[in-house]
Structure 1
Amino acid sequence: MTHQTRVFYRNGSFVPEGYAALPIYDSAIVTGEVVTEVTRTFRQRPYRLRAHLERLFAGAAELRITPPLTLEEICAATATTLAHNLPTEARDVDWQIIHYLSRGPAQAFGPLWPEDARPTVLIHCLPLVHRLGRLAPAYERGVDLIVTPQRAIPADIISPQIKSRGRLDYLIARSQAAERCPGATGVLLDSRGFLAEATGATIYTVRHGRIATPPGERVLRGVTRALIFDLAARCNLPIEEAELTPEDAKTADEMFLTSTVICLAHARSFEAATFGNGFCGPITRQIRQAFYEEVEVDFNYQAQRYAARL
């Protein structure tokens, strides 16, 4: 069970993880023209893979990248890649599946490549033991949120629906949060001062039993975000998109975050203002329980189990 036994998918071939590499002339490196997706497994089965790949293709279309495979072919390649990697870990280990789609060889270096060179497709799988194990304390105690000086890139400048590794606003905000309050998660405001996103997660407030999250046209419309709307409807909980100020967050009854890998974590505080007694609030607990039932995994307990292995 070592990393050398895992494999990458790269343009139709399976490559040992230790030998997987991109040419330095690939546009992902030269110009940052690459879209990406992360899909999580539950009980070793990819969850909402098609929705993630549809968003990958939509982002590629925005960048005018034509995928060399159909969506169905990438689904099949993903299943095969995961099947190759599953035996390298215990049967109770879940995975994150990462897709990269770049334009391929950068135009400036065209003479170095065959005329029929195509966009680059990479698929790789990583066990979640270390990542979720390190997050175990956050699931239990909650996440502390702070506003960073870095603002979110305005939607009229670059569409937030393009999921790219080159999101420097996230990276800068993460560094700023770490400098100001180690261990806290940064929250970016939009250009008008409303809440946008946390660094890599969707944010939600709860007030008087009503869930609110920033408008979808100004943030990445996450696959997990869509699930939260579904779960709220099942639980008969009102949920809406709304422009939220930092004061709205600070005075909320509860807050929580969602993302593909962490699933859902409650916020303990916002700008040093603690929500209640700091523990997970009743509305967040209700949504979290519905999430557990949807995916048939208690991801909080899973993280505690993984932490014991580190």
Structure 2
Amino acid sequence: MAKGTHDYQDDPRNAEIEISVNGELVPRDKAVVSVFDSGFILGDGVWEGLRLHDGGIPFLTAHMERLYEGARAIDLDIGLTPAELRQRIFDCLAANGMTDGVHIRLMVTRGVKATPYQDPRVTIGDATVVIIPEHKTPTRETVENGIRLFTVHVRRGYPDVQDPKLNSHSKLNCITACIQAAKAGADEGLMLDPHGFVATCNSTHFFIVRRGEVWTSTGEYCLGGITRGAVIRACRENGIPVRECRFSLTDVYGADEAFVTGTFAGLVPVREVDGRRLGHPLKTARDWQGAGPVTTRLAALYKALCEREAERS
């Protein structure tokens, strides 16, 4: 079954990985947290997705800054300095003999509670810190075939309801968006902001290309994406016009190209939004010609940026 930009090639080595649970390396089938953990009970925590590339993690400092900023926002004490947490990540990778083609899920929750209740004051002990590294490579088909998006009714809300800039464990709005898109036969859900302008996708950030210009949302109603920021920077450093602006679905339907960004797959082209083929008036699936010229160039520039800014222990 397709899973959009997160489709991956199955790797048997993942059955034998060791997972870091509060600093202890545990075999995959024995890696567990308490049923009283804040993350399990309430989704109370923050997380990051990281990518290991040629022995280094691209933009690791930016990821760590976002993690600690999110933790401060919800008054969560991670209990480790950024340097200590970085070292724990690289120790886990070294223990697994990993050097490339790895996706890492770094999760921090408020910790174990004395009883199932939302008040942080009933938390006992320290934060729970879990690091899951897996051998994961995006499928070629995802990039070659592009993905289909469907505009869902679930909106990215105002920050006084739940700030979309928080990379929290509480992702139910994104999950319901994903479900609606899947039921419509699409790969991901395209989400609007409260004013009806395009915001982001349920698990990636969204860009369009119009007349040589790259457009993405203002960023007010989406997570401060690390890959999103890197692509914007790649545009500016290489003379590609880029705009962070409000735009509507009409702008999307008339776009020359579109793509989404994320830590796992990098840049993935979008071939269809709400049943509309982007770019030329194509008639059948066989007419898909692959990523457009701007998307193709940006994918190469992003890859070079990852190689240049991969941070090591």
TM-score (norm 1): 0.86
1:120 counterpart residue number: 128
User: Which of the numbers 156, 169, 178 marks the counterpart of 2:182?
Assistant: 178
User: Which of the numbers 142, 148, 158 marks the counterpart of 1:144?
Assistant: 148
2:172 counterpart residue number: 168
- Is 1:201 the counterpart of 2:204? The answer is yes
Cα displacement (A) at 1:4: 4.5
Cα displacement (A) at 1:45: 2.1
Task: Give the 3 Å change call, closer, same or farther, for CA 74–208 of structure 1 in structure 2.
Answer: same
After superposition, what is the alpha-carbon deviation per residue over 1:147-180, rounded to whole angstroms, capped at 9, x for unaligned?
Answer: 0122223233111121123211111111111111
The code of the aligned residue for 2:203 comes to: G
1:228 counterpart residue number: 231
Is the 1:266–1:284 contact (alpha carbons within 8 Å) kept by the matching residues of 2? yes
Cα displacement (A) at 1:62: 1.2
Name which of structure 1's ranges 48-57 and 20-29 shifts more when overlaid on structure 2.
48-57
- Is 1:253 the counterpart of 2:260? The answer is no
User: Which of the numbers 74, 84, 87 marks the counterpart of 1:73?
Assistant: 84
Task: Give the 3 Å change call, closer, same or farther, for CA 193–294 of structure 1 in structure 2.
Answer: same
2:104 counterpart residue number: 97
Counterparts of 1:122 and 1:189, CA distance in 2: 32
Is the 1:44–1:95 contact (alpha carbons within 8 Å) kept by the matching residues of 2? no
Counterparts of 2:93 and 2:79, CA distance in 1: 20
User: Which of the numbers 11, 27, 32 marks the counterpart of 2:43?
Assistant: 32
- Structure 1 unmatched runs, 5+: 298-310
Is the 1:31–1:106 contact (alpha carbons within 8 Å) kept by the matching residues of 2? no
Counterparts of 2:163 and 2:124, CA distance in 1: 30
Cα displacement (A) at 1:217: 2.3
Counterparts of 2:242 and 2:41, CA distance in 1: 42
How many equivalent pairs are there?
285
Residue identity (%) = 26
Is the 1:38–1:97 contact (alpha carbons within 8 Å) kept by the matching residues of 2? yes
- Is 1:262 the counterpart of 2:265? The answer is yes
Cα displacement (A) at 1:139: 0.3
- Is 1:242 the counterpart of 2:282? The answer is no
Counterparts of 1:144 and 1:273, CA distance in 2: 9
TM-score (norm 2): 0.85
After superposition, what is the alpha-carbon deviation per residue over 1:164-219, rounded to whole angstroms, capped at 9, x for unaligned?
Answer: 232111111111111112x4321011111111111210001111111111112221
Is the 1:44–1:94 contact (alpha carbons within 8 Å) kept by the matching residues of 2? no
Counterparts of 1:21 and 1:105, CA distance in 2: 13
Is the 1:254–1:281 contact (alpha carbons within 8 Å) kept by the matching residues of 2? yes
Counterparts of 1:212 and 1:70, CA distance in 2: 37
The code of the aligned residue for 1:286 comes to: R
After superposition, what is the alpha-carbon deviation per residue over 1:248-275, rounded to whole angstroms, capped at 9, x for unaligned?
Answer: 1111111110000010011112222212
Counterparts of 2:240 and 2:94, CA distance in 1: 38
Counterparts of 2:254 and 2:14, CA distance in 1: 46
Cα displacement (A) at 1:79: 0.5
- Structure 2 unmatched runs, 5+: 1-11, 281-287, 309-313
- Is 1:14 the counterpart of 2:17? The answer is no
Secondary structure (helix, strand or coil) at the match of 1:166 reads coil
Counterparts of 2:221 and 2:267, CA distance in 1: 21
Counterparts of 1:115 and 1:276, CA distance in 2: 53
Is the 2:113–2:123 contact (alpha carbons within 8 Å) kept by the matching residues of 1? no
1:304 counterpart residue number: none
Is the 2:111–2:124 contact (alpha carbons within 8 Å) kept by the matching residues of 1? no
Counterparts of 1:61 and 1:253, CA distance in 2: 41
The list of structure 1 runs, each at least 4 consecutive aligned residues, that deviate by more than 3 angstroms after superposition, is 1-4, 107-110
After superposition, what is the alpha-carbon deviation per residue over 1:101-128, rounded to whole angstroms, capped at 9, x for unaligned?
Answer: 1110125369xxx997111111110110
1:80-91 to structure 2, matched below 5 A, reads 80-86=91-97
Secondary structure (helix, strand or coil) at the match of 1:186 reads strand
User: Which of the numbers 292, 305, 311 marks the counterpart of 1:294?
Assistant: 305
Is the 2:46–2:70 contact (alpha carbons within 8 Å) kept by the matching residues of 1? yes
Counterparts of 2:127 and 2:261, CA distance in 1: 31
Task: Give the 3 Å change call, closer, same or farther, for CA 207–24 of structure 1 in structure 2.
Answer: same
After superposition, what is the alpha-carbon deviation per residue over 1:36-84, rounded to whole angstroms, capped at 9, x for unaligned?
Answer: 1000112242111221121111111111101110000000000100111
